[in-house]
A and B are shown apart, each in its own frame.
Chain A
Amino acid sequence: MMKPRGSLARERRQAYLLVAPAVLVLGGVALYPILAAVWLSLHRFILVFGERRFTGLENYAYLLGDSRFWAALGNTAYFTAVAVTVELVLAVPLALLLQKAFPGRGLLRASVLVPWAIPTVVSARLWAWMFNPEYGVINRLLPGQDINWLGAPGYALHAAILVDVWKTTPFVALLVLAGLQGISEDLYKAARVDGASPWRTFVSITLPLLKPALLLALLFRSLDAFRVFDAIYVLTEGGPANTTETLSIYAYKTLMRSGDFGYGSTLSVATFLCVVLLAAVWLRLLGREEAAR
């Protein structure tokens, strides 16, 4: 009786020992920086002045009244919502198309990924040229008055959304495609036997069974879009008049350009909390989906 208990304890100890490196690494690379940022965010800490004093929640109080922060949050939320929605709406038909068997499908599947494979900075620079109001190809193709894509408030954020949609729709389509392939062919056969129309089949079979894949794509994309930085930074640097400034860009400018580590950390923590909240919502939805099955 004694012996198995002892071996169990030993096994447990061994298990702890085995996960210890992973826990240590995670703590070192994930937990420590987050805690450090939280700690920094409680200080007035401006590099240039060598000033570092504890101010408690003062930065957070300023954050609540900081109209630039709320504007950035609004821009980020709008960017995320519109970009992710458009990407999903475009990705589903694209995935259906890619699933169909036709000659050259493998090649097409690979080539669809090209926009996603180009580094964002490179493609954003490419788009910046195309958006150029004077010699850009987009204004040449569009009839009517030249549009000041990156210089006019209202247009600039949508230009950035367009770039994001162009770049990540293929990725979302691949996620959806993976979901499609998980749907049993028998169901479609049964639907055909019952004489269901293609639309009916899509609404009653494909969409419901695709839900976990769609939710997963939503999770990935919205978390990613919420932290958007590189595309917008290359296109506009947050201009004109900060109408394209997202939370990441605001935090970057405060931290790295101004050297205001205290308030910059506050902004980072705020962004982090938003992302955590978003992730919690999606994960909950996903969990419910799993449980329902």
Chain B
Amino acid sequence: MRRVSFIVLALGLVGVLGVWGCRRQDAAGEAGGRTRLVFKYQPLWGPPEPFRELLARFERENPGVELVTEALPNASDLAHQFFLTALEGGARDFDVLVVDVVWVPEFARAGWIADLSAEFPPERLREDFFPGPVEAVVVEGRTYAVPWYLDVGLLYFRTDLVPRAPRTYAELERFAREAMAKTPGLQGYVWQGRQYEGLSCNVYEALWGHGGRALSEDGRVLLDDAPAREALAYLRGLVERGVSPATVTGFSEEESRRVFQEGRAVFMRNWPYAWSEAQKPDSPIRGKVGIAPLPTVSGEPGPGALGGWQLAVNAHVSPERRKLAARLIAHLTSPEANRVLALNYARNPPRPAVYQDARLREEAPFIAGLLPMVERAKPRPVTPYYNLISDVLQSEFSAAVAGLRTPEAALKRAQRQVDHLTGEGP
């Protein structure tokens, strides 16, 4: 008898734990008249106070709201994985979330993030923000997220080794060769060739530089065309002709930055973060670095791949919470908030107007100087299939860059697999 009562007790305990676990789902609800609003984001590296103050101001302006922040993993694909499982499971324990540029169409299509067109009409976004990020957050004419801060691919060059920034691919190669001829052991151009998302960014940039689009008029991902072939042949050619070291096929951002930072390369493709590292007091290349838009075939300033984060609202939360969440997004994406993020965390504002701000120009001249690059930044193909296909593309791009397959063969294979995944094509 005692044993039976023990089993009953154990089962009861499990049941209680289960119910308690489910109740946690609603922890983001009202507690004692105060509304808890949960914001899930990736940590901003830097002094915590300015951002805390920004959040505190929202609480002061909205009495009765308690703002809770929860950190996400820093790696983008881990954050994606978290949202994939949480939102598919109908999680309601967070209200506002950060989304990567390439996730918006996917999450919107899945019905995981709320339509924000009423609060942030697409027309108004087009007026206030750069075209690149707006293209990434407006899906089929509806707004699903608001740009928070952005990132863009840039060309870094050594002002002491080359006369000026190259405008065309041919110029880049010529400048690199001239500098390499003078200094033995110097490398020409380092970029990101390892099989991961960074390689995709490098390939899309080369593709745009060759006049390609990667997306057909009707939104189909189209890769097996002349500009794509030329782009891959160009990247492979850099390695074959010795302008880029063979090791570049194993480089991600940090590997290329180290080579450049040690003064061993003339050019580097990277994100803006590499600037502050290059300007550190003990940096061998301090004061010898310039930045420019990426080169192209034609000599027009080339678009860099758009990165960065947007704010969206969890579609599973109640309409009242949604309204409040939209208000938080408006607060966090205001020009004032843009300035706080730029000045304290070196995050690039997505609004052109902020770049004219006198204080920003004075205190963060590097960020203000990125204007020509950020206004040209282009999102990778805006399609709900992005995450589904990027995996396939990365491996084929890697095969072409590593010389395992010709660009033609790699792109044919890529297109076939993409068509299978999206259910399109023959």
Contact = CB atoms under 8 A, between A and B. Distances in A.
7 contacts: A48-B107, A134-B258, A148-B250, A239-B394, A241-B396, A241-B402, A254-B391
Closest 9 CB pairs of A and B: A151-B250, A239-B195, A241-B399, A151-B249, A133-B247, A242-B395, A241-B398, A240-B402, A48-B110
Contact of A240 (B77, B387, B398, B421): B398
A152 B195 contact: no
Contacts of A258: 387-388, 391, 421
Interface string A234-267: 0011111111010000000110111110000000
A259 B387 contact: yes
Nearest to A155: B250
B402 A151 contact: yes
Interface of B: 77, 80-81, 84, 88, 106-107, 109-111, 193-196, 246-251, 255, 258-259, 384, 387-388, 391, 394-396, 398-399, 401-402, 404-405, 417, 420-421
Interface string A82-99: 000000000000000000
A48 B110 CA distance: 5
B410 to A, nearest CB: 8
A257 B391 contact: yes
Question: Majority SS of interface residues in chain B?
Answer: helix
B255 A132 contact: yes
A237 B395 CA distance: 10
A257 B395 contact: no
A253 B391 contact: yes
A234 to B, nearest CB: 12
Contacts of B391: 253-254, 257-258
Question: Majority SS of interface residues in chain A?
Answer: loop
A277 B71 CA distance: 43
Given A239-B195, A259-B84, A135 B388 contact: no
A49 interface: yes
Contacts of B250: 133, 148-152, 240
Nearest to A44: B423
Interface of A: 46-50, 62, 68, 132-135, 146, 148-153, 236-243, 245, 253-254, 256-260
B110 A50 contact: yes
B388 A153 contact: no
Contacts of B249: 148, 151-152, 240
Contacts of B396: 241
A49 B110 contact: yes
A239 B198 CA distance: 13
B259 A47 contact: no
Given A153-B404, A236-B195, A257-B387, A148 B247 contact: yes
Nearest to B193: A151
A58 to B, nearest CB: 12
Contacts of A239: 194-196, 394-395, 398
Contact of B84 (A68, A148, A150, A256): A256
A242 B246 contact: no
B110 A152 contact: no
Contacts of B247: 133-134, 146, 148, 151
B308 to A, nearest CB: 20
A152 B111 contact: no
Contacts of A134: 247, 255, 258-259
